[in-house]
Structure 1
């Protein structure tokens, strides 16, 4: 198997119609491709077997998670060079990626030879992959399982990635400042948009590790109910709340938002949670939150959005994200989200795009992960750490390149008579009395 890298380069060029944009190094030590920039390392022929059995993004993802392929050099540059071949390449009518091109079959003989004598045996997927799911999307049981897969991977691991703030959503940056500053400013922005005052009842949907609840109670005197489906998050949040002396102001529940019955609330925050709701349940989500607000109450919906497809019926979740990161997660265009909120009765009063802020946040999270890689691996697993590194770096580039965005929608349950309670001038948010 001499000079496997040259054979791989030739095969890739035949399939792609252009030379590979990164240098390749194969398991035999051979190299081929452009001499500058990052190197895509194929450590084991098993990676090729994965591509034979699962052509496309899932086969590549399995090889990455298993450590059979890697990148030496700048990961962002490597992903940027490969983006046109993976995430940014148009899909065919069946929803497949470029490696499902019929030319793959014509090159199968050479690929089989490179893959080795065991090419006819399908390699088992890495342990971190979600098991095949059955039944309707976004039932309460299925959602609970999906949330557990993503969030119950170890609070110590998340502390290393997220830092002391333990906020797992887009920060709000000044030109200078730390991640902690930016996350505090984001939580404060949400509180100000909601016009929280001492004694107001706030429902924090998808409350995570309790950061929003703590900020709203400590800085604004709100009475907060936080709901999450993650038991590990809830335990961590309750411990933090007790240490802050805020148990009389905050209640954390392991509860589906659809089961909340103790409204009305003065305000609802939903920060980075709605991506888990799904298109089939989004109207229900909007109806539930609308019903839980008092007349005049405000909703702050902070949500990642994708760009609209020309044919919306062709939209499908990325295989890597669905299998390893956010099972059953879906992104909707901003316009679709606004329409459904309005159909439920909300008056949409403000939309703020903070796309560039998320790119910067993700880059800091990746740096936190890489700063002590061995500790991250000990706290979860080698595969899980590799998953988080790849998905956060790839998402940073997606935000930077405007493939996805993130928006804060402020909506009001406007009472009869039409008095919204908002200031006349946009974004001159009322400075509430702090508790």
Structure 2
């Protein structure tokens, strides 16, 4: 008798302490759940073994990446339906405990469904291996960046589109093209930095060179871009040569902590500071402050999360840490602003682009899904699945105000207090 799905559904509801809003389809062909709802497809018993050996988010992630667990139907709808269980109940003290006899019985039933369990299934090869030693050393940061960015520039072209900008776009309307919205974001940053011909710009975490090219071509500045990714640097240098901008733009494979050729008139840091980490953030801010001339501006574009009471200030997501951005840490906006000020900066403007990032991520997911077979060939089926899940889940996290993204404009204000900003700074002129 094919009965795995109803048994799994009953077990999930006991363990989660709430009704399951999606259907379950199991490897034996059985199905159970609300009619018309999207379905979680448990392809094999190995998915259960992964969850048993690593309960919680990481076990689910391993099952997803390996293809043992899948979604049938709209991925966004499924994640949205599950989000209350995944997010809102994460810290719920009323959740079932293993001290509850009924919960222990449910776990025993899950062990029976999982079949003979001798050893834990090996993690998918896309998972970062066990790491020891201190966080955010130069060597460890270089390895973390390589894991995420050195997977093939052709794959990033497929996802990001021609702009090759890997941070949220700036949408005039939802109907704008991704390329126009990314151009508008780069132009917004240039205006906030008040870039003028002949000025020196340091672009920290320069990616594939899009900001450097835009600033040099449209504003006549001289740019130094630094990245830890050799693949990014090679791609950026070719683009710069094709644009005829080699006399204005230099791309270095270099840690921001090793930049010593200041002062610069302006610094852009776009989607890079999430990699810096709690232990290094004050040093990061202090280093950038020292690299700016008096009156110079910093534009720090960074993802942040909502603060949680009685928490240290930074958070690490198990799935993201294991498969996407190793050692990445998100801090609340207030923590970021405080550390920039502690380093000496005067923070002059903060602009939230939360909804803009949700829209950008949905466009990236559309690009990925439109070329799904090719994407899997470019990297691996598992890595393509990582990207699809993390971008779709992140879009919902932005939409639900779980995380946000902020442009913080800060100035190395001279001792006499002349910031150089106009009285009505939002005009950005």
TM-score normalised by the chain length of structure 1: 0.96
> Per-residue deviation at 1:15?
1.3
CA distance in structure 1 between the aligned counterparts of 2:323 and 2:415, rounded to whole angstroms: 46
> Per-residue deviation at 1:403?
0.5
Q: How many residues align?
A: 426
> Per-residue deviation at 1:217?
0.4
Matched, 1:153 2:174: no
Tell me, what secondary structure is at the counterpart of 2:88?
coil
User: What is the 5 A alignment of 1:6-85?
Assistant: 6-85=6-85
User: What is the 5 A alignment of 1:27-426?
Assistant: 27-91=27-91, 102=99, 104-117=103-116, 119-175=117-173, 176-313=175-312, 316-426=315-425
Q: Is the 8 A contact 1:234 1:254 kept in 2?
A: yes
CA distance in structure 2 between the aligned counterparts of 1:137 and 1:341, rounded to whole angstroms: 21
Q: Is the 8 A contact 2:17 2:95 kept in 1?
A: no
CA distance in structure 2 between the aligned counterparts of 1:379 and 1:353, rounded to whole angstroms: 34
What CA deviation, in whole Å up to 9, does each residue of 1:60-104 have, x standing for no partner? Answer: 0000000011111110010011111113323378xxx96985555
Q: Is the 8 A contact 2:361 2:394 kept in 1?
A: yes
What CA deviation, in whole Å up to 9, does each residue of 1:121-172 have, x standing for no partner? Answer: 2000000000011001100000000000011111000000000000000000
Q: Is the 8 A contact 1:217 1:246 kept in 2?
A: yes
Structure 1 regions of 5+ residues with no counterpart? 431-435
What CA deviation, in whole Å up to 9, does each residue of 1:360-417 have, x standing for no partner? Answer: 0000000000001000001100000000000000000000010000000000000121
CA distance in structure 2 between the aligned counterparts of 1:356 and 1:302, rounded to whole angstroms: 14
Question: Over aligned residue pairs, what C-alpha RMSD do you find?
Answer: 1.5
CA distance in structure 1 between the aligned counterparts of 2:375 and 2:407, rounded to whole angstroms: 31
Tell me, what secondary structure is at the counterpart of 2:369?
helix
> Per-residue deviation at 1:312?
1.1
1:2 alignment counterpart? 2
Tell me, what secondary structure is at the counterpart of 1:86?
helix
CA distance in structure 1 between the aligned counterparts of 2:406 and 2:95, rounded to whole angstroms: 31
What CA deviation, in whole Å up to 9, does each residue of 1:12-56 have, x standing for no partner? Answer: 121122221100000011000111221110011100000110000
CA distance in structure 1 between the aligned counterparts of 2:96 and 2:155, rounded to whole angstroms: 34
> Per-residue deviation at 1:2?
2.5
* Ranges of 4+ aligned residues in structure 1 off by more than 4 Å: 97-104
